[in-house]
A and B are shown apart, each in its own frame.
Chain A
Amino acid sequence: MKRSIALLAALVLLCSLALAGCGSASKTLTLNVYNWGEYISDGSEDSFDTIKEFEKWYEETYKQKIKVNYTTFASNEDMYAKLSSGAVSFDVVIPSDYMIARMRDENMLLELDFKNIPNYENINESFRGLYYDPDNKYTVPYTYGVTGVIYNANAVDEADVGGWDLLWNEKYKGNILQFNNSRDAFGTAQYKLGLDVNDTDRASWDQALAELKKQAPLVKSYVMDEIYNMMESGEAAIGTYYAGDYFTMLDAQADGVDLRFYYPERTNYFIDAMCIPSCCQNKELAERFINYMLSPEPAIANAEFIYYASPNKLVYTNEDYIDEMGEEAMEILYPAIGDFSERYNEYAFRSLDQATLDYVNSLWETLKIN
């Protein structure tokens, strides 16, 4: 017993020493980064360890030791809640477009000093002047993606493939997966009917609901993450998700399953962008980090790791990257990038006002109850 007490005491001492070690190192600058989980090349599977490399690069370039505190979040709403609680301070955050618009409106973002971000010129021109940042003052895009339809070619007739209609095709009753969140699910119906996904007119949402009700008897289940297993195993034949995630499924598909992917004419686009929140403690360091993320090596490593498309010219024109991704993947990830901003501004989800949001959620409830 005595020995075990001694052991415990030693453990406590060790822990407190380790913590004290963190404390005394406060002379080195710290950078607090807040990003989605699994959303940066982190050194696993022999990839590039972005954070460690940045710390090394910074010390070599500026002769100053820094420490990056890298923290992750699971959703835009989680991030927003944490940031607006005032309990934490972050220097760089990477939210999605609609959340950026909201944070900008609430003065939660700082204007970037692009003198410190010369690599911004690597960003494709289509990604400038978008609705969430019309004057290009607050954000630097990190990744983007487009929603598309995934199907098992061994179970679906090629002739039926093409639009959103496939998800309403009677032939595949009990084989179709629909999103299990109101915004995305309503979106599929609205795109199908040619409605505006950001409409504040209730009648338009009612119309979409009627379409979803028509679809309900054909749907196998409403899913989010479960879609991976159901599509990979061939349990379901048709589903809808982001292009980057399609490749994850492709990697793991079972024998006898042949997953394919296409974009319907009208569909949702998202952009995740780096910005500096108003609680930032070291703006210059944060800008240097953003600039580093745009330089070729980390940018390519991140694009390969995340499997979403990159708005960085140095990435999608890089031959090694194209080789690594393969021709098919390049075609799917980077569809006709030229007219991106036009389509994005027209079709992408924006944040809805609270009244509309509540109404949509109440409609969604009626659908899920039946």
Chain B
Amino acid sequence: MYRLAGGWTPCPPLLDTLSAPSFQKELEKQIEQGAKRIVFDCSDLEYVSSAGLRSTLIIAQKAKAAEGRLVCCCLRGLVKKVFEISKFSEIVPTFDSLDEALK
């Protein structure tokens, strides 16, 4: 899930070509409405494909453009591995727990 300065929105357990676009649109809307700090809680995220990664990148970019930022936390399993291999953490900072991410 990701948390805005304000509300929660659930993140699907699967972020792939099918689910990524609607997820991306939702977050873009939130940014337009003024969300600045987005925390991407990946505790439920089981799998992410390259399309999902791309959507995340786009959101990170848009957040940055709106003078906010996107961070991730609670990555596990395959997703964690993917993020490490692709060095995603350099674009989207990752944390181990929600508390740390909120700081």
A binds B: no
By a beta-carbon cutoff of 8 Å, the part of chain A in contact with chain B is none
